[in-house]
Structure 1
Amino acid sequence: MKALLIADDDIVIEKIKASLTDEGYDVITYRWLIKAMDNVEEIAPEVIVISASSYPRHWKTLVQFVQSGIGGVIPKVVLYAEREFNDDDLRKSEALHITGIFNSLDAEGLSELSDILSNRKGKDFSLIFTNPKTGAFITGNISKYENNIISFSPDCPELLSPLVESAQIPQATFKNKKSIKYIQVKILSKTIDNKRLELQVI
């Protein structure tokens, strides 16, 4: 498996590269974003990790470019953001279907990178999505996440009433204090009082 790492800071490169290597990736590193874009078709990485802190304006251009399928495969794109994104950048990352965001290079932050890449649950995750039937904004907590099955407890169960089993949620925000991941889910089951949903990541 190939991973493309784009950053312009020695410590960022060292720590993220070591984490990706531990995950089994062959890591190709670029400090210049434009040069990385020139070579992404030849590299054809499965994963791209880019430091949004190093390239605060240009990471969006890269994401749009690679999502065109120029390299024959559309890679997962993960952002490292030294500071948490503001609401505007979060909306942009969601619209661009970023695989996830992590915010630190300590052991917990790099564990979040690993979780993002492997669909494992981190600590204290929550889920946020819009009800596709009503447009209501639904928040809640995840009690369990194994084998792509999520047990979800909504903060306001009454907002789930129009949803039925097999309904799909085209985009949900899966987050904790140090990472954000965007996923698609399908409702497998729900309790009569809507206090718990079983969701499958698709």
Structure 2
Amino acid sequence: MIAVIIAESEDYIKELSQKLDDEGLKIIRYTWLLKALDNLEEINPQRIYVNALDYPRHWKTLVQYTRGNFIEKKPEIFLYQIDNFGEEEREKAKCLDVKLIADVKSLRKIEQSLVMINPHTKKLILGTVSLLKNKSIVFNCEQNESVLCLKPSDLIQKAVLKKNKAISEPVLKISSISQKTLHLEML
């Protein structure tokens, strides 16, 4: 998968690039929105990330362009914004089917989630995915009790993983346990 980042802020580009690189995405960066527009059809990205702080008006042009030129498979568009992003702008983004993110860390909530059933207690294991790379998962459990009887090499047969829009039911093997953190491998 290819992701295009359009931003002037080097800090934003660096932080987002690291996050997307961890997912195994090929990343193409632009600091000029018009240059990115010129190359989008050739690149044919699956995702586009635009910093609305750098391009407060031009992001709408980019969205209209992609909607008109990508007929079969339109890329997902993510718009970075902060609290002072007006309600009217939020509504425009919503109408244009653009996903809003407040910071790079919030991408994790948008892109991946995991629910499992403890094979010993048959209870749900709830928490958050802090890393999903290749077949490795680092999962932070909400409660200590949910992992008490688990041990390395246990298999979790009942799990649902959502990554972007794809949902799968992987079999997971516990590599290690550290307090409320599970290190898992997808089999």
Once the two structures are TM-superposed, the CA of residue 64 in structure 1 deviates from its matched residue by 1.1
C-alpha spacing 1:85/1:62, structure 2 compared with 1 (3 Å)? same
TM, length-normalised to structure 2? 0.58
- 2:6 is matched with which residue? 6
Identity across the alignment (%): 34
Amino acid at match of 1:27: I
Give the aligned length: 120
1:149-189 CA-to-partner distances (Å, cap 9, x unmatched) read: xxxxxxxxxxxxxxxxxxxxxxxxxxxxxxxxxx9xxxxxx
* Paired residue secondary structure (2:89): helix
Amino acid at match of 1:73: K
- 2:86 is matched with which residue? 86
Whole-Å separation in 2 of the counterparts to 1:120 and 1:44? 29
Once the two structures are TM-superposed, the CA of residue 82 in structure 1 deviates from its matched residue by 3.0
Whole-Å separation in 1 of the counterparts to 2:43 and 2:101? 24
Between structure 1 and structure 2, the one with the greater Rg is 2
Whole-Å separation in 1 of the counterparts to 2:43 and 2:71? 7
Q: How does 1:119-138 map to 2 (within 5 A)?
A: none
One of 100, 113, 116 as aligned partner of 2:107: 113
Preserved contact between residue 7 and residue 13 of structure 1 (Cα < 8 Å): yes
Whole-Å separation in 1 of the counterparts to 2:78 and 2:52? 10
Once the two structures are TM-superposed, the CA of residue 101 in structure 1 deviates from its matched residue by 1.3
- 1:157 is matched with which residue? none
Preserved contact between residue 5 and residue 13 of structure 2 (Cα < 8 Å): yes
- 1:44 is matched with which residue? 44
Whole-Å separation in 2 of the counterparts to 1:82 and 1:120? 27
C-alpha spacing 1:120/1:95, structure 2 compared with 1 (3 Å)? farther
Whole-Å separation in 2 of the counterparts to 1:91 and 1:56? 14
TM, length-normalised to structure 1? 0.53
1:84-126 CA-to-partner distances (Å, cap 9, x unmatched) read: 522101110011011x211124xxxx2x2133234779x9xxx
- 2:103 is matched with which residue? 104
Whole-Å separation in 1 of the counterparts to 2:113 and 2:95? 20
Whole-Å separation in 1 of the counterparts to 2:3 and 2:9? 17
C-alpha spacing 1:118/1:77, structure 2 compared with 1 (3 Å)? farther
Where does structure 1 lack aligned partners over 5 or more consecutive residues?
Answer: 124-145, 149-182, 184-202
Whole-Å separation in 1 of the counterparts to 2:39 and 2:114? 30
What value does the CA root-mean-square deviation take over the aligned residues?
Answer: 2.5
Whole-Å separation in 1 of the counterparts to 2:112 and 2:66? 20
Amino acid at match of 1:103: A
Preserved contact between residue 43 and residue 71 of structure 1 (Cα < 8 Å): no
- 1:76 is matched with which residue? 76
Preserved contact between residue 112 and residue 161 of structure 2 (Cα < 8 Å): no
C-alpha spacing 1:41/1:88, structure 2 compared with 1 (3 Å)? same
